[in-house]
A and B are shown apart, each in its own frame.
Chain A
């Protein structure tokens, strides 16, 4: 994790789905700051929104975004269960993993002391604006 606070943005909000719009705005702000293209922003918003809709939310949700090399790592958590496993058995719904595969460069769950976190990676192509 980057130790430079200027390279990291954090937001904590109540763990209720009605605050998903706040998470989208967070990504919007991130996109403005990092010069992301509209489509990259929209995909990341949908990825995060999908995670927050499917995950078992705790009392609070924290989003952490940080610059890492040529990309952004966006962490969301803590969740009581691994969001990538939650949808197993829900036949008919697109699995979160499939959604995330199309929307972000990589997605993986990591364990921390307070529970499970999901890491979403987005690559920022060189030059002004990404796709």
Chain B
């Protein structure tokens, strides 16, 4: 097997990570292969999921590929990484199956509304009203309300679920991002168990929304994601915190 200079460097990094536990080598591998993860995620866009959600899932697949890659098998890393990333995205679609039956037209309308809210917010410099959304989408106002509600009807796989069975690290933690704003906070409540269950991005959003007083739009601009996505992440974070506290309560009772 003839290796290019890039592949040789990649193999060196993989060796450094797997044989010497060099996590900086792992970070370099993640960074170098993120364009690949993004490209694969883009192939699955337009199927009812936000692109930035898919990129995040693809990144998790990439990390799994790095962690599981076996240098002794003699295959290129990318040969192994691509199916791992694709598998992660497919699993994401399967796990996020709609919890209740939602008509296709509502799913499609919800997707259209997500884009419209983003575009119209920028254009109007405020959130569009239901009437404005209805007019832009060419539907009745009731359908807009119904479609927005339907977006809450799918089972959201928490990004704070363990990255691997038996792993103590959650998926966001494996991304290795440090949230400085959170680290700086003096509010001890933020350090309590519920918040600790969140990944860096969810923590940051909770910090910005409920402690720093930023609006969804401001957070969306800050993070470069859509307002509707911020809304979903806030709900997901609060849900994760609730679950964590309930689990903590049960553990405490068992002790």
Contact surface of A with B, Cβ cutoff 8 Å? 21, 24-25, 28-29, 31-32, 35-43, 46, 50, 53, 90-95, 98-99, 101-102, 128-131
Contacts and interface: CB of A to CB of B under 8 A. Distances in A.
10 interchain residue pairs of minimum CB distance: A37-B127, A92-B194, A92-B192, A28-B145, A39-B127, A92-B193, A32-B130, A38-B127, A129-B129, A32-B141
7 contacts: A29-B142, A39-B216, A93-B194, A93-B242, A99-B210, A102-B209, A129-B132
Contact of B129 (A24, A31, A43, A50): A31
B245 A92 contact: yes
Given A21-B149, A32-B145, A94-B206, A42 B129 contact: no
B210 A98 contact: yes
B130 A28 contact: yes
Contacts, number: 107
Contacts of B192: 91-93
Interface of B is mostly: helix
B144 interface: yes
Given A36-B130, A38-B133, A41-B130, 20 more contacts: A24-B149, A31-B129, A31-B145, A37-B126, A37-B129, A38-B130, A39-B217, A42-B216, A42-B231, A46-B231, A50-B238, A91-B189, A92-B189, A92-B196, A102-B209, A102-B213, A128-B129, A129-B126, A130-B126, A130-B129
